[in-house]
Amino acid sequence: MKVKEKNISMKELCHCLSISEATGRNWLRLGRLVPDRDHGGKPYFSQKYVKQLQKELKHGDTKTLKSRRNKKYVAGNGIYASYLTGSSRNYAVISSIVRRQNRQPPEEMRLREILGECALQLLGQAAGKEYDFSDDFLFHYRQGKINLGEYDILVRELLGEQSNRQGACGLRQEHLFSGIQYCLEPENDVLGMLYLSLKNLGARKAAGAYYTPACIVQKLLKDLKIDETAAKHSLKILDPCCGTGNFLLQLSRNFRMEELYGGDVDLLAVQIARINLAIACRDVPVPLIRERIQVRDFLMGEDGEQYDVILGNPPWGSSREHAQSQVLRKNFLTGTGGEAYDLFLEQSLRRVKPGGLISFVLPEAVLYVKSHEKIRSLITEQVQIQSLSYLGNVFDKVQCPAVILNMYKTGRTLKTCGMNIDGEHGKFQIKINRTVTKERFNFHMTDEEYQILDKIEQRKELFFLSGQADFALGIVTGDNKKYVKKEKSTGTEVVLKGCDIGKYAIQEGKQYLAYEPQYFQQTAPEHYYRAKEKLFYRFIGKELVFAYDDRQRLSLNSCNILIPRIPGVDIKYVLAVLNSRTAQFIYERKFRSMKVLRSYLEQIPIPAVSLAQQKEIILLAEKMMSVSDPILWQETYHEADRKIAAAYGLAEAEYSILQKPSALPGQELSKQAAAQ
């Protein structure tokens, strides 16, 4: 009997294509997705159709979806530039290999051969052996001219069965390996750098495989404070997502191999890690290395082993098969809605011993984004944070700020007193116990700054935009090259981008659009664009940048819309408050995001003042909207800014704390002047 094929829901389809459900619904509305059937008003798709879409996205064959930028379907390969230390002599060698591959990922057998050549050269250098040949070590190895002894099994595993069979014919790889000479660098994971640079970019990003640069590994280990008493005894230290072994490589300098454990779901990465450790630990038996570094799934495995230290860099947003996802949702609090690193943190809390250490490199978003509230709840209930380092964008070609979260398991509620913070404004220690919840998880401010923020939030004379404002996204055309023009023509009008918006000023856009929403991927209702009064704001960036519009102009999705609807409050007063240093201070200390989200703006308190006070600030705002002299503009900004700070209840000494160079609107002055 033929088994009926299960249809796929919209939610499942979006997961398979790595798109949001909002994007999926828009594609459906525009006819870019075609459901197989409709049930209960909901679309369902055949598995065959979804597999075909995945194939088309991967190979760039689809015309309807080709404009979609999806990290899962990025093609080619490229140098992982930040991975090794800056002085590494292997950068040039690996760049040469990548060029010889025409920047395309090699098939697995060829990839294993390239890695095998590198491994053979490094193993030979580590053993101090000299050969009468300088390149194509793989050819000579297959000819029996290189005796590896107990390390032979590691190279054979790396080459794989197919490559070993291929090698029987003893063919030389003259073009591929001629002139290629690697340099042994004990502090660097050269094999890992080579592997990452040759691996398909799409596969690397879809798996969340952002291998940690050596400088960040070294910083994490330097900050890791293992109790001296515990250090006298044998420890169990686990990297549950060890990749090619960069953390283990550094750990092997100070800890015995008997104390180190590593696992990863990537077989080839595990094989590389074993070779790395064999090179670094020449006196350690190979069987012990193979026993301790294994292919294992930290989340799905049944092993209940407990560890003294769990550390590493877990996957950032990796996807799993549907069946695995079901198991994770059942077994983990963070299994629904969280990402892979949430799951790794939760599992580490289970697997580390009481008093044990957990230290991970994580996206900074784990500290404040709503979808990570569940893991923050577990942290506040079970650990003490020893140190927190804000790293910024440290991963090559990845715009995602990272942190090092270093904590030990206490089983008690988190206390902030004693936490060491390393941030963009220097190092400091928190000396007071602060209020910490899953919603309020901010540590990058000094005690003085925290007390100012707390004072502001405790005021009674405040109102919020939540429930008292309309928000609208700018237009998502789906294909700007097609719809956005550089010259005005019949039926088109100006459309603004985020870069056209300055504080209080709009620089007239130089791009035009015919407003035909039926062809666009996503639009807000037209009445938001045509509102009598509205505020435009930049969607991307660390700074709050708002401008006033009463000309019913359109905007793209880098320039969003806010329309306050608070009784007795003028829109230009809200404009001035959101452009102020105090609002910027609140925003930075609470959210630290590169996207100005509606949910963040709704949480910024706005001081309630009299109509007369509003009018004073509005007159200054209007002056800034019209003035062309940068010096006069800045003087006016300072005057309005002090009035707004006073409305928040800040004393002059408190206001001076949040006056710093990054808070000055100087970068907006040229835009302001150009707009006049």
Q: CB neighbours of 451 closer than 8 A, spacing ≥ 6?
A: none
Q: What does the angle CA 503 – CA 508 – CA 512 come to, to the nearest 5 degrees? A: 130
Class of 8-73 per CATH?
Answer: mainly alpha
Looking at residue 361, what is its pLDDT?
A: 96
Q: What is the pLDDT of residue 579?
A: 98
Query: pLDDT per residue over 526-568, tens digit each?
Result: 999 999 999 999 999 889 999 999 999 999 999 999 999 999 9
Q: Quick check: do 8-73 and 212-229+298-444 share a fold?
A: no
Query: How confident is the model at residue 73, as a pLDDT?
Result: 45
The three-state secondary structure class of 457 is helix
3-state SS track over 209-235: CCCCCHHHHHHHHHHCCCCHHHHCCCC
Fold of 212-229+298-444: Rossmann fold (3.40.50)
Give the separation between CA 543 and CA 503, rounded to whole angstroms. Answer: 10
Q: What is the pLDDT of residue 353?
A: 96
Distance of CA 445 to the CA centre of its chain: 22
Q: Quote the pLDDT of residue 325.
A: 81
Residues of the chain with pLDDT under 70: 1-5, 29-30, 58-78, 80-81, 86, 103, 163-175, 200-210, 227-232, 302, 318-323, 396-398, 660-676
Asked if 333 contacts 346 with a C-beta cutoff of 8 angstroms, the reply is yes
The answer to whether residues 458 and 480 touch, using CB atoms and an 8 Å cutoff, is no
The pLDDT value given to residue 231 = 54
What is the predicted pLDDT for the residue at 174?
60
* Measured distance CA(401)–CA(9) in Å, rounded: 33
Distance CA 599, CA 591 (A): 10
H or E element, residue 361: strand 352-363
Say how many C-beta atoms besides its own lie within 10 A of residue 638's C-beta.
15
DSSP run (H or E) holding 472: strand 469-472
Domain 463-675 superfamily per CATH = Adenine-n6-DNA-methyltransferase Taqi, Chain A, domain 2 (3.90.220.10)
Q: Does residue 405 sit in helix, strand or coil?
A: strand
Distance CA(382)–CA(66), nearest Å, equals 46
Q: Report how far residue 629's alpha carbon sits from residue 673's, in angstroms, rounded to the nearest whole number.
A: 7
Half-sphere exposure of residue 480: CA atoms within 13 angstroms, side-chain side: 15
User: If DSSP codes are grouped into helix, strand and coil, which group holds residue 7?
Assistant: coil
267-295 in b/e burial notation, b at 16+ Cβ within 10 A?
ebbbbbbbbbbbbbbeebebeebbebbee
Neighbours of 593 (CB within 10 A): 18
pLDDT of residue 418: 95
Place of tokens 């055949």: 46
The pLDDT of residue 358: 97
CA-to-CA dists, residue 647 to 110, 466, 580, 585, 616, angstroms: 67, 20, 12, 15, 12
pLDDT at position 35 is: 83
Provide the residue ranges of all domains of the chain, joining segments of one domain with +: 8-73, 74-206+242-294, 212-229+298-444, 463-675
By CB atoms closer than 10 A (0-12, 13-18, 19+), residue 59 is exposed
In the DSSP assignment, the letter for residue 628 is -
- Tokens representing 404? 């090092």
Q: Which two tokens stand for residue 570?
A: 């003028």
Phi (first) and psi of residue 179, to 5 degrees: 75, 0
Q: What are phi and psi of 509, to 5 degrees?
A: -65, 155
For residues 197 and 94, the answer to whether their CB atoms sit within 8 Å is yes
* SS3 category, 194: helix
The identity of residue 475, as a single letter, is: I
**By 3-state DSSP, what share of the chain in percent is helix, strand and coil, each rounded to 5?**
45, 15, 40
**Amino acid identity at 152:** D
The backbone region for 199, taken as left when phi is positive above 0, alpha when psi lies in -120 to 50, beta otherwise, is: beta
